[in-house]
A and B are shown apart, each in its own frame.
Chain A
Amino acid sequence: MINIQGLNKHYNKNHVLKDINLNISDPGIYAILGPNGSGKTTLLKSIIGLVIPEKGDIRVNGINVQDTPLYRNEISYLPQVARFPDNLRVVEVIKLIKDIRNQEADEFQLIDLFGLEAEMKKKLGNLSGGTRQKVNMLLGFLFDTPVIILDEPTNSLDPVSLTKFKKMIFEKKQQGKIIIYTTHIMSFVEEFSDKIFLLLDGRIIFTGDLQGILKETLESSLENAIVHLVDRNGNDKIY
């Protein structure tokens, strides 16, 4: 489904992605982990077409992402930061996105799920940060697409919403979707991941499942395993 080969990207002199090769074809939940600045968001943005690759090839369903925007019909994307035009109402933004996609969507179920009925007529500029994140979430899950990309979805969600979110992820997995996300909350990864990609300084230093990473590092928790891997590779780099 998603096939990345030899992806390289610089921001000015900063080499953010170095020879990334990545292949995702089976349904499941994929976690992209790594310290701040390791290139997680850039990688996701490359797949969604927001970042233009310098070298390498990104294909979704066999289509080169630089050729046409239409492949994004297959992808839902949840950006890290949610900011909307201040003077549009929630309904209007939902309508705009639906207009653009022209795909089947069931917003009422999601409105219900996140408890947004009362906010629908309000202007987005008047909403709290948490509510905006809910709207963001709603837009991210609005369409029934085979691929769902989530950039730090657990940020600024209250415990109730987080529970609902987890439920939704679980359902999507059951439906056979590909879910790719980044996060800093390791417990979430322990709970929801079929495969982990660990990024460090723009390189994938580990690919495998939870068991695999624990086995390789002989650590007992994911947190420690990651610290272990980062240290090892970091030291490699230094010496």
Chain B
Amino acid sequence: MIKFIKYSFFNLIRSYWTIIYFVFFLIISSTILYFSADLTKSIVSMMNIVTVLIPLVAIIFGAIFYYNSREFTELLLAQPIKRSSLLIGQYTGLSLSLSLSFVAGVSIPFLTQGILASDHLIDFLLILMAGVCLSFSMSAIAFAIALKHEDRIRGFSIALFIWFFLAILYDGLLLILLILFKDYPTDYLAITVTILNPVDLSRVMIMLGLDISALMGQTSAVFLKFFGTLKGISISFISLLCWILIPALLIVKIARKKDF
């Protein structure tokens, strides 16, 4: 498997798109740092980019990568290897290269701005962690979808829909739910629904570091209380992990039955 991680990683890290992705983060973080009034504002803007853009890019890249390496995958599968080790290897290589572009692109400008010595270090690390988790999760989903659907148009449509669903639609549905049940205590409903969506969960985890004063207000102290406890943090991490592991297992499962 390591061999496949290595080859996918080196293939991608030299690719035009990975470099564009890296440069994109480099430029966007520098711009944000330059134009924001203070570091807090920069972190907030980064959070928006991380929770919205990374899933989109990862899910599209994942599908493109699978479709493009389709024939080579076939050639490799004709070798005496297990399907799962090749596909998981390719997927890991892809996620690693996406994560590296992101982490490097964001870290360089923020490090030069002295993030290490600032009191936003934890928030920054959370953003990096969330970005990496989302990269791994979304590219696994994309891989599974592409594996399942040979038809590219259909594969891309489903991938885009999943992004749209997780990034926007899901929140809309949650909001409707909260409005419908607004006469009842809905805090734990909101928490549960949030934990089930990796995009929302990443956002909330970063937000708790940033908006502590506002969250302390009103009933939202419940959120702080939940996500601040060891139990809450553990559940959040388990959920994020599930969003990586389940699609990864799905890759293995679909691959086992697939005709190449």
- Interfacial residues, chain A to chain B (CB-CB below 8 A): 9, 11, 45, 48-52, 69-73, 75, 77, 79, 81-88, 92, 96-97, 99-101, 123, 136, 139
Q: Select A83's contact among B72, B257, B259, beta carbons within 8 Å.
A: B72
1/0 per residue B244-260: CB within 8 Å of A? 00000000000001111
Complex contacts, A77 vs chain B, CB 8 Å: 75, 78
Q: Does B7 contact A (CB under 8 A)?
A: yes
Given A50-B259, A79-B75: A85 touches B7 (CB 8 Å cut-off): yes
Decide if the interface of chain A is mainly helix, strand, loop or mixed: mixed
Q: Across the interface, do A101 and B78 meet the contact criterion of CB distance under 8 Å?
A: no
Complex contacts, A96 vs chain B, CB 8 Å: 3, 7
- How many residue pairs at the A-B interface have CB separations less than 8 Å? 77
Q: Across the interface, do A139 and B75 meet the contact criterion of CB distance under 8 Å?
A: yes
Decide if the interface of chain B is mainly helix, strand, loop or mixed: helix
Complex contacts, B8 vs chain A, CB 8 Å: 85
Categorize the interface residue count of chain B. Answer: 20 to 34
Complex contacts, A100 vs chain B, CB 8 Å: 3, 76, 79-81
Complex contacts, B81 vs chain A, CB 8 Å: 69, 72, 100
Q: Across the interface, do A72 and B79 meet the contact criterion of CB distance under 8 Å?
A: yes
Q: Select B79's contact among A52, A82, A87, A97, beta carbons within 8 Å.
A: A97
Q: Across the interface, do A85 and B69 meet the contact criterion of CB distance under 8 Å?
A: yes
Given known contacts A51-B260, A69-B79, what 12 new A-B pairs fall within 8 Å (CB)? A48-B78, A49-B77, A52-B259, A69-B80, A69-B81, A69-B83, A73-B80, A75-B78, A83-B71, A92-B7, A99-B3, A100-B3
Q: Across the interface, do A82 and B69 meet the contact criterion of CB distance under 8 Å?
A: no
Closest to A96 in B: B7
Complex contacts, B12 vs chain A, CB 8 Å: 87
1/0 per residue B15-49: CB within 8 Å of A? 10000000000000000000000000000000000
Cα-based distance from A146 to B101 in the complex (angstroms): 45
Complex contacts, B149 vs chain A, CB 8 Å: none
Q: Select A85's contact among B72, B79, B80, beta carbons within 8 Å.
A: B72
Q: Across the interface, do A101 and B79 meet the contact criterion of CB distance under 8 Å?
A: yes
Nearest 9 CB-CB pairs, A to B?
Answer: A77-B78, A83-B71, A72-B80, A85-B11, A87-B14, A50-B260, A51-B259, A73-B80, A87-B11
